[in-house]
Amino acid sequence: MDWNTIEHKWIRRWEEQKLFQADPDGREKYFVTVAYPYPNSPQHIGHGRTYTLADAHARYMRMKGFNVLFPMGFHYTGTPILGMSRRVAAGDTELMDTFHKIYKLSDEVISTFVEPVKIASYFHNEIKMGMREMGYSIDWRREFTTIDRMYSKFISWQFRTLQKKGFIVQGSHPVGWCPRDQNPVSQHDTMGDVEPDFNEYTVIKFRSGDNILPAATLRPETLFGVTNMWVKPDAEYVQVRVDGENWIVSKEAARKLEFLNHKVEVIKTIKGKEVVGQFATNPINNSLVPVYPASFVEADSGTGIVMSVPAHAPYDYQALEDLKNDKKSQSEFGISVIASPIIIIESEGFAGVPAGEAIEKVGATGQNDTKLEKATSDLYSHEYYKGKMMNNTGRFAGMPVTNAKNEVKQEILISGVATTMYELVTKPVKCRCGAECVVKLLTDQWFLDYGNKEWKGLAHECATKMNIVPQDIRQEFDYVIDWLRERACARKSGLGTKLPWDQEWIIESLSDSVIYMAYYIISKYVNGKAISDDNITDEFFDYVLLGLGSAEQVAKNCKVSYPTVEQIRKEFSYFYPVDSRHSGRDLVPNHLTFFIFNHVAIFNIENWPQQIVVNGSVLMEGKKMSKSLGNIIPLRAAIKEHGADTIRLAMLVSAEILQDADFSFDTVKSIRSKLLGLFELADKCSKSQSTEWQLEDRWLASRLQRAIVGSAGSMERLRVREVIHNILYSLDQDLQWYLKRVDSKGRGNVTGTLAEFLEVQVRLLAPFAPFTAEEVWERMGNTQSVTITGWPKVREDRIDLVAEESEFLISNLLADLQNIVKVTKITPAKITIYTSAAWKAQIYKKIISITLEGKTNFGEIMKQLIADPATAKAKTDPKIVQKMMEDILSAPLEARNRRLQLLEFDEAVAIHDAASLLSAEINKAEIVVFTEEDPEKTDPKSKAISARPFKPAVYME
Ligand SMILES: [Zn+2]
């Protein structure tokens, strides 16, 4: 099968038919968007999942009859492309390796990359071709880049609107920072896409002679329990003037303090061991504490000087224990008495020294044991939530730690014996330019004030009203909305739009990508040359996006024709709000939440987004994809080799939405053979004639209706793994069973039934494997695209409980017979099957109704049966009643409900119908059927009395 040829044929056909171009019409609309790509690399298998899911969703809604808009743009904004072009210019060997070996770029192409925009446009084109080849049903008339002039006008309007509403503030705030680029950094700018998150530490000034030994801590309330200080003896420290005071800190800390706007002047470098042995004064109670040596101290963490609280900090406790046993250090530094822990917090669950007990729990040995990490965080959160300050903490005695933490901090900050510093939570964070990021306190920077309470309130309101798929992720949004603070929204360099009121700044990439879904309406008119950006002012956007002002004025002032202005406004009102926004899970804490914030700030409530869909990432054969593992496969190469549909299905079938999908080539192979099966079936039933309608035809038709209902139900929650599994695997099993039945009966022409089956299966599959669906659809003799034909409608008249129960009964019976043969090792020549007596059916149904009410106590069930004259016969054979109850409880719920609904069901009819199959499967034995009540039956071993409804008795000879 030449998949690529088929793919190109349909890509061309769809474009000729303008199948995915969406303009307002009389139908209900559905607007699907997915995060536009950042074109600094070709897309690989890992990128494909989010886009493929969004496309399958768009195609599904289209087939359901909605007028679906699914557009795509390209995000050029920011510094990563600049950084990359600089690395190209510098001949960075790692980057060149990636270009040559993974992306397979020629030197000629690479040489153009010294110009940043060339990088963007090259990969833009590459990604676009990949998207077409994947069969994404995109309305390409609306394509744009974020450095287009009209887009910049749109973003300027967004920012002026936010500023007017008071959501943009200027001030000093800490930000993640690249010292080389002199620019704030966020997730998009870092290697490995790490958000540079930071903690605020309290720095407590311990006085030691003329110097200050500043200790950074996250637990200022433990200051009362300090017994000593820690310094790393062989690390380099510096004596520095900090804002007029003499501090001793690690060399790394001095640099960090500069970024936090302290005036720092290095006087001299010293070794840590020079400080060991000195004494320092605890500012909260003036106690004198010694400075000890410790190897766990990290020079680049905090100030490099640690206050030791051995009662509540496992590292401190362990280092003291280590020091007790380290006679060499004791004599080297003249330490004669080792301090003992001072307990200052009580909490349930701890009787002795809490840190000591926490260490015992994790089983750590020695201060460099990584298990101390867990002991520390466990004890920290336990004491934070459950701890109370003890009597030795002055005015804080009796206070819960939750409060004391802030109160102590406020007190020491106000009295000037402490200050604050910021520190990255995880280190190191590398900028894409290669430099290590720091925290910088930026002054005069522009911030989006996500800390604004009123704004948060609106964002919560929107998130609450919105549908979030999957539901489990909803609380993550609430958490992020609460947690977000001011966020730097502009940079000094990079591609993008200048801040309208301060031209030194460029709006950064996570701020100019939050309401652009609205711009897809406008871009169609820009690309179609119906409007030009020359005279466009805010008035234009106010009118078409918010309905403010008048079309006449806008037409006049912006030099756009009046009908065009009206048409754009109408089109926006038609397609907005966004019905479904798709993105990867890693964008929940930034992009997706900013998307909510900015929509509620700018748009009227009726245009707030309706749904967010979040999916997990993709693993390659169980492993994370990474350049170092060499398992990154560019999407276009994969399409060429395996075909787009197999890749689409392999991405979607391996996991439900939030889990990581595991892409594997075994799955690719298995899917390909399933798809080939569809082509074979299509050839079989291309000349279909109506089939003589028998039990198995009725059954297959009924199963198809169930598949339509089930798939639509799963698609409501975008459980695509389930849907694809049903369509490709469960339906295929049904087909195999059907063919077996047909074969055993020796039926000739069943192409009518097969055609009906394939017709439904192909339409169900179309959103996920569009190329195969179209091609098979055409081979079946259809001339209209399967997209237009639409999602199959359920035919209620084809749902056939009798047929469903019959085949279920037969397949269970067959399994029972095979089992008997296996266990008894009989090779039967004749099998006699006894169906149960009518009175048992009465009892059976009654038991189902009782158990469906949730009652499963045998005694109670017996009582109810005996009380009813219709089922009173139960008392004659409690054993069989017990067995029936067991049968019922082990049957699928679906089967129980069906059996209750079936008024009359003659098992003998079904068994007779399948006698040829049973015989064919079991030794070509003769099949004989009796009912238990038949006086003429042969029953040499008295098997008949053990027959139960849907569980006939069997005698083999
Ligand atoms: Zn950088």
Residue 95 Cα to ligand 1 middle (Å): 15
Distance between Cα 194 and ligand 1 center (Å): 13
pLDDT in tens, 508-521: 999 999 999 999 99
pLDDT of residue 706: 96
Average of pLDDT values for 576-599? Answer: 95
Per-residue pLDDT at 921: 94
Distance 42 CA to ligand 1 centre (A): 22
Mean pLDDT value of segment 755-766: 96
| CA 429–ligand 1 middle distance (angstroms) | 11
- Compute, in angstroms, the gap from residue 185 CA to the centroid of ligand 1: 8
pLDDT at residue number 643 = 96
CA of 584 to the centre of ligand 1 (A): 25
| 103 C-alpha to ligand 1 centroid (Å) | 23
Residue appearing with tokens 């991405």: 651
pLDDT at 76: 95
Tokens at 703, concatenated: 């199963």
Rg of the chain taking only CA atoms, in angstroms: 36
Residue 107 is predicted with a pLDDT of 93
Measured in angstroms, how far is the CA atom of residue 586 from the centroid of ligand 1?
Answer: 21
Tell me what percent of the residues of the chain surpass a pLDDT of 70: 100
Each residue's pLDDT tens digit, 285-337: 999 999 999 999 999 999 999 999 999 999 999 999 999 999 999 999 988 88
Instruction: State in Å: Cα 84 to ligand 1 middle.
Output: 10
Q: Residue 430 Cα, ligand 1 centroid: separation in angstroms?
A: 8
Q: What is the C-alpha to C-alpha distance for residues 269 and 602, in angstroms, rounded to an integer?
A: 54
597 pLDDT exceeds 90?
Answer: yes
The predicted pLDDT at position 742 comes to 96
- DSSP class of residue 590? I
User: How many angstroms does the Cα of residue 498 sit away from the middle of ligand 1?
Assistant: 20
User: Looking at residue 87, what is its pLDDT?
Assistant: 86
Rounded distance from Cα 493 to ligand 1 centre (Å): 11
Burial of 794 (0-12, 13-18, 19+ CB in 10 A): middle
Distance between Cα 180 and ligand 1 center (Å): 5
Per-residue pLDDT, 162: 98
Query: For position 170, what pLDDT does the model report?
Result: 92
Ligand 1: centre distance to CA 589 (Å): 22
184 CA distance to ligand 1 middle (Å): 9
The answer to whether residue 687 scores a pLDDT higher than 90 is no
Q: What is the pLDDT of residues 845-893, one digit of tens each?
A: 999 999 988 888 899 999 999 999 989 998 999 999 999 999 999 999 9
Out of 137-146, 181-190, 602-611, least confident range = 181-190
Measure 440 CA to ligand 1 centroid, in angstroms. Answer: 13
Cβ(476)–Cβ(588) below 8 Å? yes
Q: Does the pLDDT of residue 629 top 80, yes or no?
A: no
Q: pLDDT-based confidence at 622, cuts 50/70/90?
A: confident
Q: What is the tens place of the pLDDT at every residue in 336-359? A: 888 899 999 999 989 899 999 999
Residue 481 scores a pLDDT above 90: yes
Q: Mean pLDDT in the chain?
A: 93
User: Rounded to the nearest 5 degrees, what angle is found at the Cα of 674, between the Cα atoms of 671 and 676?
Assistant: 110
**Region 448-472 average pLDDT:** 96
How far apart, in whole angstroms, are the C-alpha atoms of residue 495 and residue 497? 7
Looking at residue 748, its pLDDT comes to 85
CA of 690 to the centre of ligand 1 (A): 70
Confidence of residue 426 (pLDDT cuts 50, 70, 90): confident
Ligand 1 centroid to Cα of residue 240, in Å, is: 28
The pLDDT confidence band at residue 692, using thresholds 50, 70 and 90, is: confident
156-to-39, 511, 537, 603, 728 alpha-carbon distances in Å: 23, 11, 10, 16, 49
- Is pLDDT at 104 greater than 80 in this prediction? yes
- Residue 61 contacts by C-beta under 8 Å, 6 or more apart in sequence? 30, 32, 68
Per-residue pLDDT, 306: 97
Q: What separation in Å is there between the alpha carbon of 78 and the centre of ligand 1?
A: 12
C-alpha 76 – ligand 1 centre gap (Å): 17
Q: Could you tell me the distance, in angstroms and rounded to a whole number, from the CA of residue 173 to the centre of ligand 1?
A: 19
Going from the Cα of 178 to the center of ligand 1, the distance in angstroms, rounded, reads 5
If one compares 281 and 625, the residue with the highest pLDDT of the two is 281
Going by pLDDT thresholds of 50, 70 and 90, the confidence category of residue 102 is: confident
pLDDT confidence of residue 17: 96
What are the Cα distances from residue 323, in Å, to 291, 317, 372? 12, 10, 17
The structure's pTM equals 0.82
* CA 675/CA 645 separation, integer angstroms: 9
Q: How far is the CA of 496 from the centre of ligand 1 (A)?
A: 17
- What is the spatial distance between Cα 469 and Cα 716, in angstroms, rounded to a whole number? 10
Report how far residue 930's alpha carbon sits from residue 650's, in angstroms, rounded to the nearest whole number: 49
Ligand 1 center to 169 CA (angstroms): 25
pLDDT tens-digit series, residues 894-946: 899 999 888 789 999 999 999 999 999 999 999 999 999 999 999 999 999 99
Ligand 1 centre from 649 Cα, in Å? 38
Residue 188 has pLDDT above 80, yes or no: no
Amino acid identity, residue 438? V
Span from the CA of 90 to the centroid of ligand 1 (angstroms): 14
Q: What's the pLDDT score for residue 182?
A: 85
Q: How far is the CA of 437 from the centre of ligand 1 (A)?
A: 8
Task: Give the Å distance between the CA of 534 and the centre of ligand 1.
Answer: 35
Q: What was the pLDDT predicted at 623?
A: 86
C-alpha span between 847 and 857 (Å, rounded): 11
* N-to-C CA span, the chain: 50
Ligand 1 mean position to 157 CA, how many Å? 29
pLDDT (tens digit per residue) in 43-55 = 998 889 999 999 9
Q: Are strands 245-250 and 264-271 parallel, antiparallel or unpaired?
A: unpaired
Mean pLDDT of 448-476: 95
Crossing angle (nearest 10°) for helices 538-546 and 562-575: 50
Q: What local confidence, expressed as pLDDT, does residue 621 receive?
A: 86
Distance 893 CA to ligand 1 centre (A): 60
Q: Ligand 1 centroid vs 107 CA: distance in angstroms?
A: 25
Alpha carbon of 692 to ligand 1 centroid (Å): 73
Q: What is the pLDDT of residue 442?
A: 83
Ligand 1 centroid vs 673 CA: distance in angstroms? 48
Residue 185, pLDDT score = 86
Alpha carbon of 801 to ligand 1 centroid (Å):
67
How much distance in Å is there from the Cα of 118 to the middle of ligand 1?
20
Tell me the pLDDT band of 493, cut-offs 50, 70 and 90: confident
CA of 195 to the centre of ligand 1 (A): 14
